[in-house]
Every structure is written in structure tokens, then in C-alpha cells.
Amino acid sequence: MFRRHKLRYLPFIFVLAALVVFPLVARAMNYPVQPGDTLWLIARRFGTSVDALKSSNNLSSDIIYPGQNLYIPDGAVANTPDYTPLKKQIEDYLAGQPGTYGVYFKDLISGQSFGINADTPLPAASTVKLPAVLFINHLVAQGNLDWQQKLTYNSATDYQGGSGILQFSVKDGDKLTLRTLTTLAITTSDNIAYNMLRNFVDKGSIASFMRSLGGQTVFPDGQNLSTARDMATYVQAALDFAKVNPDGRRLLDDMANGIYNEGIPLKIPDGVTVAHKEGFIWGSPADAGAVFGSRPFIVTVLSQGVEDPDKGFANIATITKMMYDYQENLARN
């Protein structure tokens, strides 16, 4: 089926180093300054002092700027937030909503996480395109594939209506590069592009890759089911890949500039980068991604039994906004 969409093109300007998950151990580390950061906020976040930060970084004033890397001295530990109130807020909200929701949250500063029905198998819909495209990226990075390699469209095996633009233009025998197909699979959620990629590398190979990343519910009995926890694992894997490979940064850029934005990004303020992959089959809106506000986080939401898709995506947006507001409050206090 066709889905309405709202264009939300965002400048992909966040510093890649901000994707690092800061472990809760007492050791030195580098921290990339985020918009809105001050030395006082950073000192509080890592349990150190402004004077210690200034001394460790040879700063003569309190002036810092986004993108600047600060050395966090030995002994500093990222503060461990209490996410119990946030989890309860989301649980209370979902208690009044029809259908089943699987939710997973991960703070990208402390590594703290929580889930609600996080291990319940639910329809992955088009969120499954994220680990599939990430697999292609890994194969290219390993030298096993080339972005300019072309695949030939075969309507007998590759055609599918619904999302995407290829259904209106591609013909049997047409050749498309891996780069084009992976871009379309993420930015327009193109079903034909995904089918061509999946048929080329084999669904079983994609499944093995997903398991290698830590996925537990991977195409059970051949069904496109996953869990909120597993989807968060794949988002984290995309962030980790982007830290070491330029192709990974391009993948995140595609995720930040897709045409479907009814879920995670809908209620996030303009100017805040959101890299995500949305999915939908009837009754099961889904979304998985990362929100790069003052305190970045991963959020994944899968669902089932949601008769009103607009309401389902609105619920995903509301849940994400709760997380965003909680994170922004932590960054300020």
C-alpha cells in the first residue's frame, strides 16, 4: 500500500565521534563537544571539575565550540542516569493504547538502556532493510563487492509494489548499481531495490550477518519478525561501522534523509539530526534509529494489532519525544 510522507531533509552535520558510546569505567577518553555544551555541563556529565577539564586541555578560558575534542582526565566516569521514571512514563502511556508495542531505549553517553516488551517478536516490516543494507556495506568494505557492480532486474523474482519508485520505471533487463539500490532501499524504502539486494546476497547470508551482530529473533520460521532489542542492536552496529568506515557515514546520511518521517522524527525539533529506518505493514508501524540531540540515544519501536496506522506512528513519535525531552533535561541539569 502507499503511505503518506513528510519530507524532512536535515543537514548531516553531527560530529561522527559523537557516536562513541562512553563506557562506565574510570579511564581517560576523548569527548566531542556537542551544540549547547558548556564546560560545566561536561564536567557534571563525567564527574569531574571545570578546572580539571581546563587543565587537561590547556584551556585558558571557558570557551568551547561544537566539534572540539576534549580530553576527559583519568578518574572521570560518565554519570549514570536513572531511567526508571522515563520507562514508567512510556509504560503508562502505552497502557492506554490499543495493540502491542515493543520499545527499546539506549543512552549513547552512558550506555544505559531499558526495554518494554523488548524481546517480543513483532513484525519488522521495512526496518529489516537496515541490517540488509549494512551487510552490503560490510561486504564492500571487505572488498568482496564493489559499489559499481550492477544487478539485473527480473520482475519474476524482484517485483513488489508498495514503497519505492522503481515499481514505476524499472523494466526486465535493466541494470542498477549496488550503490543505487542500497540508497533507494533506505531513502525511499524501495521494495524492489531491497528484493534485488536480498536475492543477490541471499536471505540466509543476511540472517547469518544479523545473528553475528547479536540478533536473536532472525526470520523465525521464515517470517519477517524481529524484536525491539534486536533492532537496537542493528542500529548500534550501523553507528559502530560509521565510526571506522566512510561508507557507514554515507549510510547514516541516507537514514537521516529518507522520505518517510511519520515516526521517530515527527515531534523532534527541526535541526536535530535523526538517522532512522521506518517500516510499515498493515497493523504494524515500526521505526528504528538514533536521535542526535544534546544527549544522543537509540530508540526502536515495533508494534502489532494497531488498526490506525496514523495513530500508530503518532504513538512512536510521542514515545520518542518523551525520550528526547528526558535526555535534554539530563543534558541541562
125-164 pLDDT per residue, tens: 999 999 999 999 999 999 999 999 999 999 999 999 999 9
Eight-state DSSP code of residue 70? E
HEC profile of 108-173: CCCCCEEEECCCCCEECHHHHHHHHHHHHHHHHHCCCCCCCCEEECCHHHHCCCCCCCHHHCCCCC
Pairing of strands 297-304, 100-107: antiparallel
Report the top-level CATH class of 25-72: alpha beta
- Amino acid 77: pLDDT: 61
- C-alpha to C-alpha distance for 49 and 257, rounded to whole angstroms: 38
Residue 192: its pLDDT value, please?
Answer: 98
Radius of gyration of the chain (CA): 20
Residue 9: pLDDT over 60: no
Q: Is the pLDDT of residue 10 over 60?
A: no
Q: pTM of the entire structure?
A: 0.83
Q: Lowest mean pLDDT of 47-61, 74-88, 108-122, name the range.
A: 74-88
Q: How confident is the model at residue 35 (pLDDT cuts 50, 70, 90)?
A: confident
Q: State the average pLDDT over residues 165-175.
A: 97
pLDDT band at 102 (very low <50, low <70, confident <90, very high): very high
pLDDT digits (tens, 9 = 90+) for 306-326: 999 999 999 999 999 999 999
Rounded (10°) angle between helices 129-141 and 191-201? 50
Whether 198 contacts 173, CB under 8 Å: no
**pLDDT at 22 (0 to 100):** 38
Task: Output 272 or 48, whichever has higher pLDDT.
Answer: 272
Domain ranges of the chain: 25-72, 84-332
Nearest CA to 201 out of 108, 141, 137, 275 is that of 137
The one-letter amino acid code at 332 reads R
Confidence of residue 75 (pLDDT cuts 50, 70, 90): low
Helix (H), strand (E), coil (C) string for 211-261 = HHHCCCCCCHHHCCEECHHHHHHHHHHHHHHHHHCHHHHHHHHHHHCCCCC
For the chain, the farthest-separated pair of C-alpha atoms sits apart, in whole angstroms, at: 67
Architecture category of domain 84-332 in CATH: 3-Layer(aba) Sandwich (3.40)
Mean pLDDT score of the chain, rounded to an integer? Answer: 90
Write down the residue that cell numbers 542526535 correspond to: 292
Q: What is the predicted pLDDT for the residue at 27?
A: 44
pLDDT band, residue 79 (cuts 50/70/90): low
Question: Fold identical between 25-72 and 84-332?
Answer: no
Beta bridge pairs of residue 279: 286
Beta-bridge partner residues of 151: 176
Q: In the structure, what pLDDT confidence band is assigned to residue 11 with cuts at 50, 70 and 90?
A: very low
- CB-based contacts of 267, cutoff 8 Å, min separation 6: 317, 318, 320, 321, 324
Residue 76: band (very low, low, confident or very high) from pLDDT cuts 50, 70, 90: low
Q: Given this model, what pLDDT does residue 244 score? A: 87
